[in-house]
């Protein structure tokens, strides 16, 4: 932001040099990128203002910072002015049809003003920051924007149809001509300021040509408002109209500063253009959420910074920054941040403010800094094991947004008919609900990859999902693992088995056919059951969702609640001695019914009483001729080993026959004959 040095000194009684001010501001986090000398001993400072500090987008905000840093007196100019007898409500009306887009809109009317050139003091201030003087009324609005940071707009009162202001969404196809003579076709998403007939301004972006203040203007309607940052940004980017006003509205203006800026502008317009201000102000507003008090312990400063900042100096810094001290109790103090400092929400934020103003240079440099080894929790160990296993299997980790639209927020939540949780406020207009499942984010990521021309994907995400708990204050938060792959379903299930093995839970996660997940193919889905409890599901995405997302083919997906696995996981590998004696392996090809799962075959083999059976391994699956319809052929490998003596083939034959008998009895299996 451009800051005039002489203008800045009107608000702070600083007796030091420009170089000292620049150095101390930069050291305190308000970086001055450059200093350009101007005429009359003035200088133009290019101040870098962070996106979280819109309060410094005006000379008053910068002056407040300089005063806090140096201990100089901060001076707020007067906004008092004399009102006339005529009531403003009898001269104009304001209707806000979209309170979310415009939480506060104020209007004042000034009558019989004389529009003309600005006085020299105002011209100097405007030119010093690189603006072109227009006329006294417009120059005052620009002056206030750079003084306080609150954008204003002055309308020619007589050119407003029915002297009426309506803040509404535009109608598709409405035409608008801006002050810079550019013409635009509005869309239904644009917030506009309209009169009784047509739009007269793009809210927060730029005023209209028809109602601009000119030398012929006699009466002025002065707007001071707060607009939704996302709405302003969307319209500004779509129309390619970027202004000083839109820059500030996009970052958020002070709700309470709307009135002060309006009063200050009225005072200066009456001084420079004469006229009379109507009595009162039209103020249409929705009360905002106010900052919460913060309880702050001085010991926290010592723990974080490693130094003692004098108590009195800490309180001075807080008060100088506009933070109200509500009360002190021993080593703690309760404070209330000002409305224009929305970035101050926690006690650690206050430590940062005290540290940067007190001076980082006062924190001693330690050559050897003691550190403590980080402690890894069990949950973190399990998560790391999951991430490393899936990455090794060819999956890529995704990080998606927790907020989504209402439809996506309710997906993949079988048996849960509660409404998704809505947020009070978000920067994303289309994403105002908290997800119940992690999978919608992965589906959107697949869609983005598909649109970008990328091929098959395999992704996973470990993240929180949220579900409402009626009658309880807080929702249920659970950490979920979600997987998505374009590979075959068998490959996806194999990855789940590999993951279970890595967690020391092999054989304990079962797949049971189900049809309860509406978003999945009814014929290709299963519940994931761990120790008898359902902890998730897997399956092919259904046709309806695939068509809506325009997928070329259905991916395989899975989602698991991780807490049961975290509790049961055995991450420490168990040592097994290297076998000293040879094993005998036998391969079998068995024909079984289509519905027989592998776990039943594994259980039948291990429960057949073959004491020397060491392992059962799946080899392959075949369907088709000459295997009868409704049947399938599964090839498996049996490994036998005796730990005491060398196993003979005759012994292995006997164990194999026991296992075949168990297959025939329990699963109606038959051994595939040669040539079959």
For residue 404, what are the β-bridge partners?
A: 433
| Lookup result for tokens 């325009």 | 550
In CATH terms, 378-568 corresponds, of 3.30.930.10, 3.30.70.330, 3.40.50.1220, 3.40.50.150, to 3.30.930.10
For residue 279, what are the β-bridge partners?
A: 87
Domain 584-671 architecture:
2-Layer Sandwich (3.30)
- Taking the alpha carbons of 356, 357, 358, 359 in that order, is the dihedral positive or negative? positive
Q: What is the DSSP letter of 642?
A: -
**SS3 of 74, please?**
strand
Domain 294-362 architecture:
2-Layer Sandwich (3.30)
pLDDT at 429: 58
Q: Are 84 and 276 in contact (CB under 8 A)?
A: yes
- Burial tier of 306 (Cβ tally within 10 Å: 0-12, 13-18, 19+): exposed
pLDDT at 676: 61
pLDDT at 45: 96
3-state SS string over 8-33? HCCCEECCCCHHHHHHHHHHCCCCEE
**SS3 of 368, please?**
coil
Question: Which spans in 309-461 are helix H?
Answer: 311-320, 347-358, 378-392, 406-409, 439-451
Q: What topology does CATH give the domain 2-74?
A: Phenylalanyl-tRNA Synthetase; Chain B, domain 1 (3.30.56)
* Rounded Cα gap, residues 470 and 665, in angstroms: 50
Return the H-helix or E-strand segment holding 525: strand 520-530
pLDDT at 435: 86
What are 91's two structure tokens?
Answer: 């001269």
Half-sphere exposure of 191 (CA within 13 A, CB side): 26
Task: Give CATH 3.30.56.10 domain extents, the chain.
Answer: 2-74, 294-362
The set of residues, in sequence order, having a beta carbon less than 8 Å from that of 573 and lying 6+ positions away, is none
pLDDT at 598: 83
pLDDT at 673: 81
Low-confidence ranges of the chain (pLDDT < 50): none
pLDDT at 426: 57
CATH number for the domain formed by residue range(s) 83-285: 3.50.40.10
* Rounded Cα gap, residues 94 and 78, in angstroms: 27
Q: Are 486 and 458 in contact (CB under 8 A)?
A: yes
* Rounded Cα gap, residues 416 and 468, in angstroms: 9
* Rounded Cα gap, residues 330 and 313, in angstroms: 16
Instruction: Give the rounded distance of the alpha carbon of 550 from its chain centre.
Output: 26
pLDDT at 373: 82
Task: Give CATH 3.30.930.10 domain extents, the chain.
Answer: 378-568
What are 133's two structure tokens?
Answer: 């003087």
Task: Give CATH 3.50.40.10 domain extents, the chain.
Answer: 83-285
The set of residues, in sequence order, having a beta carbon less than 8 Å from that of 451 and lying 6+ positions away, is none
Q: Are 217 and 115 in contact (CB under 8 A)?
A: yes
* Rounded Cα gap, residues 298 and 310, in angstroms: 9
- Please write the tens of the pLDDT for every residue from 473-509: 777 888 999 999 999 998 999 999 999 999 998 878 8
* Backbone angles phi and psi of 400, in degrees to 5: -115, 170
């Amino acid at each position: 932001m451009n800051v005039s040095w002489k203008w800045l000194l009107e608000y702070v009684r600083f007796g030091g040099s420009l170089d000292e001010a620049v150095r101390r501001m930069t050291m305190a986090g308000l970086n001055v990128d450059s200093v350009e000398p101007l005429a009359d001993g003035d200088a133009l400072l290019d101040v870098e203002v962070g996106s979280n500090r819109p309060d410094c987008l005006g000379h008053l905000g910068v002056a407040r910072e300089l005063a806090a840093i140096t201990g100089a007196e901060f001076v707020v100019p007067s906004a008092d002015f004399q009102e006339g007898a005529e009531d403003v409500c009898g001269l104009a009306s304001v209707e806000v049809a979209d309170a979310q887009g415009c939480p506060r809109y104020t209007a004042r009317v000034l009558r019989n003003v004389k529009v003309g050139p600005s006085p020299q003091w105002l011209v100097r201030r405007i030119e010093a920051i690189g603006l072109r003087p227009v006329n006294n009324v417009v120059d005052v609005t620009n002056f206030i924007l750079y003084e306080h940071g609150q954008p204003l707009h002055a309308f020619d009162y007589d050119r407003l149809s029915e002297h009426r202001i309506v803040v509404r969404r535009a109608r598709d196809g409405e035409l608008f001509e801006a002050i810079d003579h550019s013409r635009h076709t509005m869309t239904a998403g644009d917030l506009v300021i309209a009169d009784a007939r047509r739009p007269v301004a793009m809210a927060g972006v730029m005023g209209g040509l028809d109602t601009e203040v000119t030398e012929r203007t006699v009466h002025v309607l002065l707007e001071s408002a707060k607009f939704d940052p996302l709405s302003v940004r969307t319209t500004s980017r779509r129309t390619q109209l970027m202004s000083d006003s839109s820059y500030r509205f996009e970052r958020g203006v002070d709700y309470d500063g709307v009135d002060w800026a309006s009063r200050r502008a009225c005072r200066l317009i009456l001084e420079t253009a004469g006229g009379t201000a109507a009595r009162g102000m039209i103020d249409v507003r929705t009360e905002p959420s106010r900052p919460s008090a913060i309880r702050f312990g001085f010991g926290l400063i010592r723990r974080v910074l490693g130094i003692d900042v004098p108590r009195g100096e800490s309180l001075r810094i807080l008060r100088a920054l506009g933070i109200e001290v509500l009360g002190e109790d021993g080593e703690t103090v309760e404070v209330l941040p000002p409305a224009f400092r929305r970035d101050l929400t926690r006690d650690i934020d206050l430590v940062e403010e005290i540290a940067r103003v007190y001076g980082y240079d006062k924190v001693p440099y330690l050559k050897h800094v003691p550190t403590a080894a980080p402690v890894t929790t069990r949950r973190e160990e399990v998560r790391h094991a999951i991430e490393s296993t899936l990455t090794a299997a060819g999956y890529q980790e995704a990080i998606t947004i927790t907020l989504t639209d209402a439809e996506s927020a309710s997906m993949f939540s079988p048996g849960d008919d509660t409404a998704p949780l809505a947020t009070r406020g978000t920067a994303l207009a289309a994403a105002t609900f908290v997800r119940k499942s992690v999978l919608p984010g992965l589906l959107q990521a697949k869609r983005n990859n598909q649109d970008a021309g990328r091929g098959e994907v395999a992704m996973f995400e470990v993240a929180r999902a949220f579900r409402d708990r009626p009658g309880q204050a807080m929702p249920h938060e659970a950490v979920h693992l979600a997987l998505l792959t374009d590979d075959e379903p068998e490959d996806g299930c194999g990855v789940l088995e590999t993951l279970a093995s890595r967690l020391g839970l092999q054989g304990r996660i079962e797949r049971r056919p189900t049809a309860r997940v509406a978003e999945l193919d009814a014929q290709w889905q299963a519940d994931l059951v761990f120790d008898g409890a359902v902890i998730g599901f897997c399956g092919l995405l259904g046709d309806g969702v695939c068509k809506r997302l325009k997928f070329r083919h259905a991916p395989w997906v899975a989602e698991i609640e991780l807490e049961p696995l975290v509790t049961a996981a055995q991450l420490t590998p168990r040592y097994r001695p290297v076998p000293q004696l040879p094993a005998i392996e036998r391969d079998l090809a068995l024909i079984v019914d289509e519905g027989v799962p592998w776990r039943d075959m594994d259980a039948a083999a291990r429960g057949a009483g073959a004491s020397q059976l060491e392992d059962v391994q799946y080899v392959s699956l075949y369907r088709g001729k000459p295997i009868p319809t409704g049947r399938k052929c599964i090839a498996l490998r049996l490994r036998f080993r005796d730990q005491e003596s060398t196993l003979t083939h005759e012994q292995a034959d006997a164990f194999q026959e026991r296992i075949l008998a168990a297959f025939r009895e329990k699963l109606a299996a038959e051994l595939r004959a040669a040539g079959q």
